[in-house]
Chains A and B, each alone.
Chain A
Amino acid sequence: MKNTIFIAAILSFAKLAFADCDLKTKVEFTEPRIFAPLKGSNATGGFAKIKNNCSEELELSLKSAEGFKAVETHVTVEENGRMAMKKIDSFKIKSGETLELVPGGKHLMFFDPQGTVNEGSEVKLVFNLNKKELTIPFKVVQRIKK
C-alpha cells in the first residue's frame, strides 16, 4: 500500500511540473507557414521553427489542420540512394532546443484541402504537446518564387 501511494505521489508531481509549463508562452513558433497547394496535387507541406522553452522534453504530434482532410508529421529519409518522405508518429524536442521543419527534412504534410486555400490566409493547426493541445495559425505562402 505504501508503494502504491508513493508511485501515485510521484506521478502527481510529474503532472504538476508539466502543468507549470505554459505552452502558449514557452513554446515559440517562428515563421509558421504552409505552402499554398499547387494545381495537380492534393498534398502540400508546412514548416516552422519550434523552440521548447519548457523544462522538459516535448513530444509533438498533429491532431488536425483546419480545412484539410488529414495532416501528418513526416521525415525525409535516404536509403540505398533512394529518397522518401515517411510518416512518423511525433517529433521530440528536448528542453531548450529548437525543432526546424524545412523542405527536404522534417516537415508537416497536409492532404486533401476541403476548399480553396489562398495565399495570405491562415490555417489553424492543432498540435498535441505532451498530450496537451495547442492551436497555432500557419500562414499560407507561395511555394514557388517567380
Chain B
Amino acid sequence: MSLSNAGGAFRLLNSSELNNVRFIFLSVDQAHDKPDEVADYATNFFPTFVGLSGSKEQIDKTISLFPASYILEENSKSYLGYSISHTDRVFFLNSKGIVVDSVSGSKDGADAIYKKIKENL
C-alpha cells in the first residue's frame, strides 16, 4: 500500500519537483527479499524509486534511526512460515537527513504524501 500510494504521489509531481525528491523503500524481510529483488520491486511503482534490503544487522541499524520497529512472528501454518508486523509510516527527511514529518503509508493515501512532499520541497 505504501509503495502504491507513494507512486501515485510521485506521478503528480512535475519534472522540477521530481529532481528534488527521492523515495527509498526498505524491506525488513531479509530472509525473503534479496536486495536486487527489492530494487526491482520498488521501480514497479515509480522508475526512480530505490528499494533496499540487507543483512539483519544493516536493517536493524537503519530502522533504529527512525521512530519505527518491526517484529517477525512465526506461523507454521502459513506458506512463508512467518509474518512480519512493521511500522506503517512514510517518513520525510530534509536535505540534512533529519526526519521532519511522516504520514501513514496505507491509510493517508497518495494525496497526503504528495501534500507533504510539496510542503517540504
The interface of chain A, by Cβ under 8 A from chain B, is 38-41, 69-70, 72, 77-79, 81-87, 89, 103-104, 111, 143-146
**A39-B41, A87-B75, A103-B4 are known contacts; what are 16 more A-B pairs with Cβ within 8 Å?**
A40-B36, A40-B39, A78-B88, A81-B88, A82-B70, A82-B71, A82-B85, A83-B86, A83-B88, A84-B73, A85-B83, A86-B75, A87-B79, A111-B80, A144-B7, A144-B44
Q: State how many angstroms separate the Cβ of A36 from the closest Cβ of chain B.
A: 10
Contact (Cβ within 8 A) A40 B106: no
Which single member of A38, A81, A83 contacts B44 (CB below 8 Å)? A38
B91: shortest Cβ distance to chain A, in Å? 14
Contact between B78 and A87 (Cβ–Cβ < 8 Å)?
Answer: yes
Nearest-CB residue, chain B, relative to A78 = B88
Is the pair A41, B71 in contact by a Cβ cutoff of 8 Å?
A: no
**Cβ–Cβ contact B41 & A87, under 8 A:** no
Which residues of chain B in 10-52 are interfacial with respect to chain A, using CB atoms and an 8 Å cutoff? 11, 36-45, 51
The answer, yes or no, to whether B1 is at the interface (CB within 8 Å) is yes
Q: Which residues of B contact A (CB under 8 A)?
A: 1, 4, 7-8, 11, 36-45, 51, 69-71, 73, 75, 77-80, 83-88, 106
Chain A residues whose CB sits within 8 angstroms of the CB of B7 once the complex forms: 144
A-B pairs with the 6 shortest C-beta distances?
Answer: A40-B41, A40-B40, A84-B85, A82-B85, A87-B78, A70-B79
Partner of B87, one of A70, A82, A103, A146: A82
A32 to B36, CA, bound (A): 32
Contact of A104 among B1, B41, B44, B51 (CB under 8 A): B1
- Chain B CB within 10 Å — which of A78, A83, A103 has the most? A83
- State how many angstroms separate the Cβ of B114 from the closest Cβ of chain A: 15
Please name 7 pairs of A and B residues whose Cβ atoms are closer than 8 Å in the assembled complex, sorted by A. A40-B37, A82-B70, A82-B88, A83-B85, A83-B106, A84-B85, A103-B4
Contact of B83 among A86, A111, A144 (CB under 8 A): A86
Q: A40-B40, A72-B78 are in contact. Are A87 and B83 (CB under 8 A)?
A: yes
Q: In the complex, how many angstroms separate the beta carbon of A6 from the nearest chain B beta carbon?
A: 37
User: Which residues of A sit under 8 angstroms from B70, Cβ to Cβ?
Assistant: 82
Q: In the bound complex, do residue B51 and residue A144 qualify as a contact, i.e. CB atoms below 8 Å apart? A: no
**Least distance between B78 CB and chain A CB atoms (Å):** 4
Residue of A nearest to B70 (CB): A82
- Is A40 in contact with B44, judged by CB distance below 8 angstroms? yes
Partner of A41, one of B37, B75, B78: B37
CA A143 to CA B38, docked complex, whole Å: 17
In the complex, A40 Cα to B33 Cα: how many Å?
8
